[in-house]
Structure 1
């Protein structure tokens, strides 16, 4: 992965209530769950191929964009930063489960990595609130630690 771009595979598009998971063994996307009425993905959600987080899954990625995508869409992205977080699983174990924030390289809406991750404070708070509520549905607890800039987030990705 270069400093210039990272490829992200979309699982659940922005505005979707459907949570899809990529099944690498069978090379397909599976419907995992449907979010409650009124809850939807605020941005495109997916993963960074070839990575593996502490939870055993590829690293989580949110692509902040105004373009329409679909499950399986691969987007060349610019890293903005990350939400550093811990997640308490149903069995009580605690794992780091950061969320990496991107914008497409080809994008009509430009975001710059200023003041952390290039988002307004209310957008960042809304994202954290989404993760808290999203994990609560599955009986998990999401704990926000900090926002980190693109440079620190890239160091973590490259260590994986």
Structure 2
């Protein structure tokens, strides 16, 4: 998810991307990407690589949230530093549907932090950023600030994390 700020109370969703993971397979046929109408990007266009014209032609928040809701139905939300996405999803869901969604969450940031701590390495700031973690797993570099490529990057990281440790069940990684 790309947003205008890190604060769900004041920021707006700019775009949403998702890539389903089925077992140990990334399902690109189920991937989705939506630019959400309503944000003012002005000086941030260079960050999101989306012009105001593209955002103005995007989908309404209601439509975007309905599509996201369908995409995560029966699944866990997979994200890197998931608190950010969860905060924006909860705020948007309250605004659109009048309720807070029940989400099961898998956070690759938290998985990596726990892994590093078990290994006796205590991470600092940059150590847990998505590009740095992916680099440690030998994954390719992707550009930042695109919701779809970030979703793919997170999915790949998750599978790499699962491959580097003992067998993992969904119950081991889901945060409720």
Q: Same fold (TM over 0.5)?
A: no
Answer 1 or 2: which has greater strand percent: 1
Asked which structure has the greater CA Rg, the reply is 2
Query: So what's the TM-score if we normalise by structure 2?
Result: 0.25
Answer 1 or 2: which has greater helix percent: 2
